[in-house]
């Protein structure tokens, strides 16, 4: 599904990712953990194609094609989804307007008929309940005035609507209390299926109690320093990042 080889990424003249290798097979959920500043979000943004995240080396194959050759929107239409760590507030753009534009962009790309306003309301309704997205939240401007929990729920809600093939969840747990965390995790788990892969980026093990990954990778200083099964997350929880990152720095 996704194959990252020796990926180097530079941001503001500074090399942040220094050779990432990561392969995620169809239907798998991988977690990338790491301390602050290790390059986790850079990896997420580089995959999404954000300007200023300059790939200086390496390759990313996505479903057999060169992901890095695609624009931001082409990646999205090809089924890549990034759940933002800090979902962006967009004043003046109503949630439904935004979501319908997004869903229809994807449908056009797939050669499907676009949904009109009525059809869209029907399409959305079923998915609102699972993530506790009241109508009011969709009428308001995108993310404006939303609480941290609402923003994260809104990200997972968008993911449910866009039905991505590959989802990157960037610290979707940050800033959530335990109830909100469970709700978001349930939303994500409901989307797990054999044809969909995910990359879950997190600082804390806690999220992985709810979204149980197939593989765990530890990112430090722009490299993956250790990979393992789920137990690796528990090990990190016990011993902290200190031991691993110190070993890497030495």
Partner 1 sequence: MSRRIVAEFPFVERFDEVAAGLPGAGLDWLDALRRDSLDAFNRVALPSTRVEAWKYTNLKDLAKTPFDIAASPEGDSPFDLDGIRAGGPGAGRRLVFVNGRFDAGRSRTGPPSEGLAVLSLGEALRSRARVVRPHIERLSSLEDEAFLALNTAFMMDGCVIVAGDGVTIDRPVETVFVNDARSPTSVHPRNLVVAGAGSRIALTETHVGAGPSEYWSNPVTEIVVAASASVVHRKIQRESRRAYHLANTRVTLAERGTYRAFLMSVGAGLSRCEIDATLEGEGADCRLDGAYLARDRQHTDITTRVTHAGSGGSSRQAFRGVLDGRSRGVFQGRVSVRPDAQRTDGHQLNKTLLLSNDAEIDTKPELEIYADDVKCSHGATAGHLDELELLYLRSRGLGAEEARRVLIRAFVAEAVESVEDGPFRDRLDAEIDDWLSREPPADAEAGA
- In which residue are the tokens 């759940």 written? 83
Inter-CA distances, 64 with 3, 99, 137, 169, Å: 9, 28, 38, 22
Tell me the residue ranges of DSSP E strands in the chain. 2-11, 14-24, 29-33, 53-62, 65-66, 80-83, 90-94, 141-142, 166-170, 197-202, 215-220, 223-228
Listed ranges 49-57, 196-204, 222-230, 231-239: which one lies at the site for partner 1 (CB under 8 A): 49-57
Residues 174-203 that bind partner 1 (CB under 8 A): none
State yes or no: residue 72 binds partner 1 (CB under 8 A).
yes
Residue selected from 62, 84, 146, 166 as contacting partner 1 according to rule CB under 8 A: 84
State yes or no: residue 82 binds partner 1 (CB under 8 A).
yes
Report how far residue 5's alpha carbon sits from residue 8's, in angstroms, rounded to the nearest whole number: 9
**Dihedral sign computed on CA atoms, order 228, 233, 234, 237:** positive
Residue selected from 48, 160, 183, 216 as contacting partner 1 according to rule CB under 8 A: 48
Residue selected from 96, 158, 202, 205 as contacting partner 1 according to rule CB under 8 A: 158
Residue selected from 8, 50, 206, 226 as contacting partner 1 according to rule CB under 8 A: 50
Residue among 236, 235, 230, 216 nearest 22 (CA): 216
Which residue, 89 or 239, has its beta carbon nearer to partner 1?
A: 89
How many residues sit in the footprint of partner 1 (CB under 8 A)?
31
Which residue, 158 or 205, has its beta carbon nearer to partner 1?
A: 158
Which residue, 33 or 142, has its beta carbon nearer to partner 1?
A: 142
State yes or no: residue 148 binds partner 1 (CB under 8 A).
no
CB of residue 161 to partner 1, shortest distance in Å: 9
Residue among 224, 223, 220, 221 nearest 240 (CA): 220
Any idea of the CA torsion for 196, 85, 213, 36, to the nearest 10 degrees? 140
**Contact residues: partner 1, CB under 8 A:** 48-52, 71-73, 75-77, 81-82, 84, 87-88, 90-93, 97-98, 101-102, 105-106, 109, 141-142, 158, 162
């Amino acid at each position: 599904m996704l194959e990252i080889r020796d990926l180097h990424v530079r941001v503001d003249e500074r090399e942040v990712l220094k050779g990432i290798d990561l392969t995620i097979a169809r239907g798998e959920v991988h977690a990338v953990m790491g301390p602050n500043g290790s390059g986790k979000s850079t990896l997420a943004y580089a995959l999404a194609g954000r300007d200023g995240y300059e790939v200086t080396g390496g390759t990313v194959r996505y479903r057999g094609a060169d992901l890095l050759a695609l624009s931001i929107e082409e990646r999205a239409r090809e089924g890549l989804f990034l759940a933002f760590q800090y979902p962006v507030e967009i004043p003046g753009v109503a949630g439904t307007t935004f979501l319908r534009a997004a869903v229809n962009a994807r449908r056009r790309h797939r050669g499907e008929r676009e949904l009109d306003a009525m059809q869209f309301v029907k399409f959305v309704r079923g998915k609102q309940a699972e993530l506790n997205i009241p109508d009011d939240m969709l009428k308001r401007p995108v993310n404006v005035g939303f609480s941290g929990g609402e923003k994260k729920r809104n990200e997972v809600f968008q993911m449910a609507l866009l039905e991505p093939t590959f989802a990157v969840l960037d610290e979707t747990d940050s800033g959530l209390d335990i109830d909100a965390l469970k709700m978001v995790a349930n939303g994500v788990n409901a989307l797990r299926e054999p044809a969909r892969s995910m990359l879950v980026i997190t600082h804390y093990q806690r999220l992985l109690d709810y979204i149980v990954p197939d593989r765990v990778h530890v990112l430090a200083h722009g490299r993956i320093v250790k990979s393992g099964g789920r137990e690796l997350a528990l090990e990190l929880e016990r011993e902290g990042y200190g031991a691993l990152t110190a070993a890497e720095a030495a």
